[in-house]
């Protein structure tokens, strides 16, 4: 009795010729290899892109180079179900890090609120900063990286923006 070849074991249909079996095997292996080797593409919503660029520009002023491709970070506007969550940073070693911003919050926000939420979430995703709830003697937040409005008094304004960004990038 003849023993089955390796290809016949992988593809056991006796009415299919060996050449077709090898072609099928090559296509199958190529598909598996390409699906494992390909990386997720990065996509940042167009409305967030100017704020991502502003973060990169401010970092560069402090000699920090921001490369979102190399860091594998993207930004998305979406509906975040939790009512008290306005933005999130999802970190995953195998997929891109994601800055998620609640679309309703975004649409209702002022220019400085938009800058705050992007800088705060990129503080987590790019700078690997944790929350810092320390407050100054007057009750104002020491950092843009505070955990909630209840932690300390915070408002990003033209007069305090530079100090908050210096603390963010030079921690």
Residue 163, pLDDT score: 96
Q: In whole numbers, what is the pLDDT of the chain averaged over residues?
A: 85
Q: What is the CA radius of gyration of the chain?
A: 25
76-133 per-position pLDDT tens digit: 999 999 878 999 999 887 889 999 999 999 999 999 999 999 999 999 999 999 999 9
CB 145 within 8 A of CB 121: no
Selected residue with higher pLDDT from 34 and 26: 26
Rounded Cα gap, residues 87 and 102, in angstroms: 6
Q: Indicate the range of 85-94, 108-117, 143-152, 153-162 predicted with least confidence.
A: 85-94
Rounded Cα gap, residues 124 and 165, in angstroms: 14
Residue 151 predicted with pLDDT over 50: yes
**What mean pLDDT do residues 48-62 have?**
97
Does the CA dihedral 71-72-78-84 come out positive or negative? negative
pTM above 0.85, yes or no: no
């Amino acid at each position: 009795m003849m023993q089955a070849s390796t290809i016949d074991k992988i593809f056991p249909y006796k009415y299919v010729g060996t050449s077709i079996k090898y072609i099928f095997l090559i296509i199958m292996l190529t598909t598996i290899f390409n699906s494992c080797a390909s990386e997720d593409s990065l996509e940042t919503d167009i409305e967030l892109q100017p704020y991502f660029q502003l973060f990169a520009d401010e970092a560069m002023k402090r000699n920090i180079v921001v490369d979102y491709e190399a860091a594998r970070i993207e930004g998305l506007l979406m509906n975040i179900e939790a009512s008290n969550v306005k933005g999130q940073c999802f970190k995953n070693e195998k997929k891109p890090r994601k800055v998620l911003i609640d679309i309703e919050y975004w649409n209702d926000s002022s220019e400085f609120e938009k800058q705050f939420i992007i800088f705060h979430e990129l503080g987590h995703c790019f700078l690997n900063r944790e929350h810092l709830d320390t407050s100054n003697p007057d009750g104002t937040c020491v950092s843009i990286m505070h955990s909630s409005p209840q932690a300390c008094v915070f408002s990003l304004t033209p007069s305090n923006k530079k100090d908050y960004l210096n603390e963010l990038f030079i921690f």
